[in-house]
A = this chain, B = another copy of it.
Amino acid sequence: MSGSEFDRIARYFAPLANEAALRLTDDAAVWSPPPGRQLVLTVDQMIEGIHFLPDDPPDCVARKLLRRNLSDLAAMGAAPIGYLLTTALRAATPEAWLADFADGLAQDQRTYNITLFGGDSTSTTGPIMTSVTMIGHVAPGTALLRTGARPGDAIFVTGTIGDAVLGLEAARGNIADPGSFFSTRRLLPEPRVGLPLAGLVHAAIDVSDGLIQDLAHLCTNAGLGAVIEAALVPQSSAARSAGDAWLETRLTGGDDYELILAAPATAEPALRAACGTVPLTRIGTMTAAHSNIIINDASGTPLHFARQGWQHF
């Protein structure tokens, strides 16, 4: 670590850290976990040119980095506590980039009531690279898993599906984006943290790689299949305006960070109550047909897509 790295840590990251992080001046953080709780641990990285565009605002890169990880915790039904961070910047990366990045972290630390436990900052000659290890907690035995879906379970999704990938298409100039709605959805997903889903759903996963691919994980992990009605997959009014030509893109694009939930159809009222103001839509049913996902169009005819999921940029 070079002297300027110590300065950068003191200036930008130390203000984000809590007592456990020992002002980031020690070798590691020392933290008393909440007694009687299980911890939920996840890590995700974001690399320039792969997970974000070079021109994306740095504060949004930071917030999306946190939110991707928060979404993984949300998919487990866990409450977030704090995170560890790595950054690898080029020597030519402007100081303002780091300042804006740190501002984004600070902003979402407040939004989600989380803190910085520690980090590692270094230089790279390649694309900018950042990662977050996020730590949350659940009551013992209540974590939502990908494995528990049962045949006949109703399949629900939160929010709307496909806006983020249309944001990517907008950044590429392939689709209009009045009011920057799609762009905002790509840059600032809203992870569904804090929903009291324990005991209501059999299985859960977040949509990071695309609706169909992530649904496929729920199916594979339970030895099941699924039937989805494409017309039921919730879309924003902006996506509806974009038209049916984008259907495959929306259902296979990633970065939505909505939740897919498998639950008994009878649980729907309780599930709606648990979701509160978060929109919840039933889109299909789990079946006993192992790993067979059928997407029906409005006439009941199965659709065939060239790809299932998300390959990043």
Q: Could you give, for residues 116-146 of chain A, a 1 whenever the CB lies within 8 Å of some chain B CB and a 0 otherwise?
A: 0111101111110101011110101001011
Interchain CB contact (< 8 A) of A33 among B29, B39, B49, B50: B39
Measured CA separation A217–B120 after assembly (Å)? 16
Say yes or no: is A59 at the interface (Cβ < 8 Å to chain B): no
Q: Which partner residue on chain B sits nearest A36 by CB separation?
A: B35
Q: Which partner residue on chain B sits nearest A308 by CB separation?
A: B3
Of the listed residues A51, A138, A209, the one surrounded by the most CB atoms of chain B closer than 10 A to its CB is: A209
Measured CA separation A117–B38 after assembly (Å)? 13
Per the 8 Å Cβ criterion, residues 21-66 of A in contact with B are 22, 25-33, 35, 38-45, 47, 49-51
Say yes or no: is A163 at the interface (Cβ < 8 Å to chain B): no
**Contact status of A25 and B125, CB under 8 A, knowing A30-B76, A43-B85, A45-B120:** no
Of the listed residues A2, A26, A119, the one surrounded by the most CB atoms of chain B closer than 10 A to its CB is: A26
Say yes or no: is A262 at the interface (Cβ < 8 Å to chain B): no
Measured CA separation A78–B22 after assembly (Å)? 15
**Contact status of A38 and B31, CB under 8 A, knowing A76-B26, A127-B125, A311-B2:** yes
- Copies of this chain held together in the complex: 2
Q: Which partner residue on chain B sits nearest A210 by CB separation?
A: B1
Q: CB distance A75 to B43 under 8 Å?
A: no
Say yes or no: is A247 at the interface (Cβ < 8 Å to chain B): no
**Contact status of A26 and B145, CB under 8 A, knowing A39-B31, A43-B119, A131-B131:** yes
Q: Which partner residue on chain B sits nearest A41 by CB separation?
A: B29
Say yes or no: is A114 at the interface (Cβ < 8 Å to chain B): no
Size of chain A's interface in residues, with CB distance under 8 A? Answer: 67
Measured CA separation A261–B72 after assembly (Å)? 40
Say yes or no: is A166 at the interface (Cβ < 8 Å to chain B): no
Q: CB distance A45 to B86 under 8 Å?
A: yes
Measured CA separation A120–B208 after assembly (Å)? 13
Measured CA separation A45–B118 after assembly (Å)? 13
**Contact status of A124 and B40, CB under 8 A, knowing A27-B75, A75-B27:** no
**Which of chain B's residues have a CB closer than 8 A to the CB of A1?**
208-209, 309-310
Measured CA separation A78–B27 after assembly (Å)? 11
Measured CA separation A127–B309 after assembly (Å)? 26
Q: CB distance B127 to A27 under 8 Å?
A: no
**Which of chain B's residues have a CB closer than 8 A to the CB of A47?**
88, 122, 124, 126, 129
Known: A28-B136, A31-B38. 16 other contacts (CB 8 A): A25-B146, A25-B217, A27-B42, A28-B76, A29-B40, A29-B42, A30-B138, A33-B33, A45-B86, A45-B120, A47-B122, A50-B124, A88-B129, A125-B126, A125-B127, A126-B127
A–B complex contacts, Cβ < 8 Å, 12 sampled: A3-B309, A25-B146, A25-B217, A27-B146, A27-B206, A30-B40, A30-B76, A43-B86, A45-B88, A50-B123, A50-B124, A126-B127
